[in-house]
Structure 1
Amino acid sequence: MLVQLQYLRAIAALLVVYFHSVLQVAKIDPGFDLEFHLFGETGVDVFFVLSGFVMWLTTAGRSISPIEFYRRRIKRIVPLYWMATLFSAAVALVAPSVLKTTIFNIPHLLASLLFIPWRNPADPTLIAPVVIPGWTLNYEMFFYLVFGLLLLVRERWRLYALFGAMAAIVIACHLLPLVTTVTTFYGDPIIFEFLGGVVLAKLYSEKILLPQSVAWPAVALGFAFLLVNEALCDGSMRSYMWGIPALVIVYAAVSIDFSRLPTIGWLNYLGDASYSIYITHAFTLAFLRILCNALKIDILLQGPIFIALCLLLSSIGGAAVHEMTSPGRWKKKKLAVA
């Protein structure tokens, strides 16, 4: 795996953690300037572009069946997500005041486990699963479903087939006379961010890259526009106002030769643990909010201190879960002991 992709995964995960941390601050410090500090949601868009990039890069030039592809993705995504979902549902059942955005509801729980878009019973305006950040996984799994099927297409035609399939899905969702939760969800052009990542991987594999002198400024400008556009535009325009800067960031980053640079070990590791951080951080933030409210320690109730704690503890908690749930790591440890 390219080390810069690990860095971007870590940064994207921490952006999302920061975004949700700021939302938590408002619950403990009503005087906190929420509007000024609220950004980071665009970390999701970087994740989507990265996902498309990695899926193409790891399958191009290889003979992989759809079944094998699905097996690998399920093995990586499903176990931790199901554990988090079932844990959230259990908490919502026995202590409903702990998780503010979760209500125990059997249909909603089943839809969440099966990655089916569903209206959140706690807030019907949201199409989100039991674990709220898991809405992105519904898109991820849908992309994997389409991409896996197209592994049956010859590689030279696969990108065109993917373009056609994604465009047909979005258009069909908008043309169907019956508006449903599913058509609303999958009709969102945000799914083109995955496609953008695939195109970048194709360019990378053909060594069509930015010059080094251009790539570094492009990364900085990409992040600048990503954050500025997040402040200026709402989610209805995210597929291009947030998606395009995310594409620029990834394309510029993979154009840089990081092999000549020292590896930032902690950032590389957080990239490896980014999925665990993303899935578990909501629990960490809820626990920290409850703890701070209970202890009533003034310094912990200050916005910047609270956010810093959220970032630190979410990273530590996610890393711990990553260590516990990575089968390969356990095998290596057993071999080392033997």
Structure 2
Amino acid sequence: MPTLYSIQYLRAFAAIAVVIFHAAHRMGLPFTIGAAGVDIFFVVSGFIMMAISDSRPASPASFFRNRLLRIAPTYWIATVVMVLGAILGLFPNLKLDPAHIAGSFLFIPVASPNSGNLWPVLVQGWTLNYEIFFYAVFALVLFLKPALRLSALALLFSLLVVGGALLRPENPLAGFYTAPVILEFVAGAAIAKIWQAGRLPSPWIGLLLVCLSIAGFATIHLMRFEFDAWTCGPLAIMLVAGALAIEVHGKLPKFPALTYLGDSSYSIYLWHTFAISVVAAIGTALSLSVPAIALAAVIVGTIAGIAAYECLERPIQLLLKGKRSALWRLPLRNQAGRTPAQ
């Protein structure tokens, strides 16, 4: 499966949106729409899983193992840093609980002793609980013929969402796994099927979809509307489908820097909050302006994620594949043939 630049760009934009969201939130600035980067990630994840499974057939066990090895090692390291930091007093507001820590490592949603929310020790890891759930379900549908997989996935996730809407379960765990956001994975998988069949719209329709999506996100932000999966999900779907439509018709320019940010987006997502906390503390101590601190936090948070990608994520992934890697190579030119796996 060749590199899809549209997917790489979207991963980069989604990661940076989340970084801006957390930096702005830390400094009391309004940019909650940045959290919608998660919706883009989920649609992209569904697309990648379906596209990979169709192009590189694998057994259910092999598929799940590969996906777990792709996301777990770096996340576990970040979680260990959080736990050790709390023990050493570096994170005085972080309360530790054995069940919560275990749930964080096992990708099981457990109520946080800090807030009561189903957040792991590393808060942004809540999205990975959904990712692992999706991988597990997707692994099961791999037992079916390729032509039936999307229908089975859509049926199961739709039943979960409908059941959650009708029954309104009081159990937080049941509510977590019946939330409408899981349909974004299905939408991404459906886009993959459309892409494989060569049925994406023209590049001009694709451009229109991208513009409408961006306008929708901007409207939510500027008007300060409340948003959830029902509003941001369709916008993320339009964005992914539109960007792919532009690329398949040869109308998407290549930006090596954005491609590289797409490569490092997972590490940026995991590690940026550490840097934001440090920058916010230093900036406040120096009495810098709030916008200046937020901007510095975004820049340093992104750089910290890139450093984590080069020093941790990439070497670990190459090691798992039996390869070796030099550190700090900042590959700003594309390496053809790489699969843009999240």
Give the deviation of 1:121 after TM superposition: 1.0
Query: Once the two structures are superposed, what CA deviation does each residue of 1:103-144 show, in whole Å capped at 9, x if it has no partner?
Result: 1111110011111111111111x2211101111111111001
Matched, 1:246 2:203: no
Contact 2:9 2:259 in 1 (8 A): yes
Flag structure 1 segments of 5+ consecutive residues without an equivalent: 27-33
CA distance in 2, matches of 1:178, 1:228: 32
Give the deviation of 1:89 after TM superposition: 1.4
Contact 2:119 2:125 in 1 (8 A): yes
Deviates further, 197-206 or 84-93? 84-93
Matched, 1:305 2:292: yes
Match of 2:107 among 109, 115, 128: 115
Counterpart residue type for residue 95 of structure 1: G
CA distance in 1, matches of 2:225, 2:177: 21
Contact 1:8 1:271 in 2 (8 A): yes
Matched, 1:141 2:132: yes
CA distance in 2, matches of 1:134, 1:227: 26
SS in 1 for 2:35: coil
Give the deviation of 1:279 after TM superposition: 0.3
Matched, 1:42 2:36: yes
Contact 1:70 1:148 in 2 (8 A): yes
Would the alpha carbon gap of residues 266 and 178 (structure 1) be closer, same or farther in structure 2, given more than 3 Å must change? Answer: closer
Give the deviation of 1:260 after TM superposition: 5.6
Query: Once the two structures are superposed, what CA deviation does each residue of 1:180-230 show, in whole Å capped at 9, x if it has no partner?
Result: 121011121110011111111111111111211221232122112023235
Matched, 1:207 2:198: yes
CA distance in 2, matches of 1:112, 1:153: 31
CA distance in 1, matches of 2:299, 2:281: 17
The alignment covers a number of residue pairs equal to: 317
Contact 1:233 1:241 in 2 (8 A): no
Match of 1:91 among 77, 85, 90: 85
2:145 aligns with 154
Contact 2:187 2:237 in 1 (8 A): yes
Matched, 1:272 2:263: yes
Would the alpha carbon gap of residues 310 and 177 (structure 1) be closer, same or farther in structure 2, given more than 3 Å must change? Answer: closer
Counterpart residue type for residue 120 of structure 1: S
Counterpart residue type for residue 303 of structure 2: I
CA distance in 1, matches of 2:294, 2:87: 28
SS in 1 for 2:304: helix
Contact 2:164 2:175 in 1 (8 A): yes
Matched, 1:57 2:51: yes
Would the alpha carbon gap of residues 5 and 177 (structure 1) be closer, same or farther in structure 2, given more than 3 Å must change? Answer: closer
Task: Describe how 1:119-198 pairs up with structure 2 within 5 A.
Answer: 119-124=111-116, 126-173=117-164, 179-198=170-189
SS in 1 for 2:27: helix
CA distance in 1, matches of 2:52, 2:43: 14
TM-score, structure 2 as length reference: 0.87
Give the deviation of 1:168 after TM superposition: 2.6
Give the deviation of 1:172 after TM superposition: 4.2
1:25 aligns with 27
TM-score, structure 1 as length reference: 0.88
Give the deviation of 1:177 after TM superposition: 8.6
SS in 2 for 1:152: coil
CA distance in 1, matches of 2:199, 2:79: 41
Flag structure 2 segments of 5+ consecutive residues without an equivalent: 327-342
Would the alpha carbon gap of residues 291 and 232 (structure 1) be closer, same or farther in structure 2, given more than 3 Å must change? Answer: closer
Deviates further, 129-138 or 167-176? 167-176
Matched, 1:10 2:12: yes
Q: Which has the higher helix share?
A: 1
Matched, 1:316 2:303: yes
Counterpart residue type for residue 314 of structure 1: G
Would the alpha carbon gap of residues 38 and 160 (structure 1) be closer, same or farther in structure 2, given more than 3 Å must change? Answer: closer
Give the deviation of 1:165 after TM superposition: 1.4
CA distance in 2, matches of 1:266, 1:318: 14
Identity %: 34
CA distance in 2, matches of 1:107, 1:174: 29
Task: Describe how 1:284-299 pairs up with structure 2 within 5 A.
Answer: 284-294=275-285, 296=286, 298=287
